[in-house]
Amino acid sequence: MQGFQPILLSVHGLSCTVSGRQLWHAVGLEVGAGERWAVTGPSGSGKTVFLRTLAGLMPRQAGEIQLRGQSFDRVWVPAWRAQIVYVPQRPALPEGSVQAALAAPFRFRAHRGRAFLSEDAGRYLAQVGIAADFLRQDVATLSGGEAQVVAVLRALLIQPSILLLDEPTASLDPARAGKVEMLVHHWQSAAPDRACVWTSHDPAQLTRVSDLRLAIGSPS
């Protein structure tokens, strides 16, 4: 993994204290293009808070984050989030069809000039063995696992540089979990300048989906 890959994301001295309790302190991280990371730590160590902080969804208390050499504080935040997308454990999807849910982000100003192509979505779905008529299904009828597939697919389609996956398969059966893993794999291998960061309770999954580890939180 070493070599000439450019650094996509670099984190220095990131600290976080929640109601008087220090979650993590002076965390550093450099994510290079093509890398697959896992953030590990005991439960309650703030893995979710860490990923949300990287996406700028939470106020940063101390430290510095840069994306391709640009500091978070000097970038228009929606443009930052178009590049580094956070996928939560239990995603909420808007009412309507799967296709509408996938197309919705393309209305945002941060994605101006780009359009949702159902062929792109269909291609990703085909790669994980889901027929294209899945796109016409109503979001309300999806199972938890199917909703998670939609959430990950929705994040992939806006073509970020970095995907932050927070326990994306925690409530899924192994078959569905495998599909989410495959989706991310296909996305990442389609271009060289992509990286992902996972958290998971399942050590076997982390072995499958990541090569590099970042341990945060004080071991209790």
Q: In what order do the strands lie in the sheet with 84-87?
A: 84-87, 162-166, 195-199, 36-40, 212-215
115 part of the interface to another protein, by CB under 8 A = no
Nearer to another protein, 29 or 155 (CB): 155
Minimum distance, C-beta of residue 114 to another protein, in the bound complex (Å)? 11
Distance in angstroms (rounded) separating the CA atoms of residues 215 and 42: 9
Minimum distance, C-beta of residue 208 to another protein, in the bound complex (Å)? 24
Distance in angstroms (rounded) separating the CA atoms of residues 130 and 139: 15
- Length in residues, the chain: 220
163 contacts: CB under 8 Å, gap ≥ 6:
85, 87, 155, 156, 184, 187, 188, 194, 195, 196, 197
Interaction mask 39-78, another protein, x per CB under 8 A: ----------------xxxxx-----------------xx
122 part of the interface to another protein, by CB under 8 A = no
140 part of the interface to another protein, by CB under 8 A = no
Minimum distance, C-beta of residue 115 to another protein, in the bound complex (Å)? 15
Q: Are the beta carbons of 55 and 85 closer than 8 angstroms? A: yes
DSSP secondary structure of 189-214: HTSTT-EEEEE-S-HHHHHHH-SEEE
Nearer to another protein, 57 or 212 (CB): 57
Nearer to another protein, 17 or 207 (CB): 17
Nearer to another protein, 45 or 83 (CB): 83
Among 23, 65, 82, 121, binds another protein (CB under 8 A): 82
110 part of the interface to another protein, by CB under 8 A = yes
- CB count within 10 Å of CB 61 equals 12
26 part of the interface to another protein, by CB under 8 A = no
**Residues found near another protein in the complex (CB under 8 A):** 55-59, 77-79, 81-82, 85-88, 90-94, 104-105, 107-111, 151, 154-155, 158
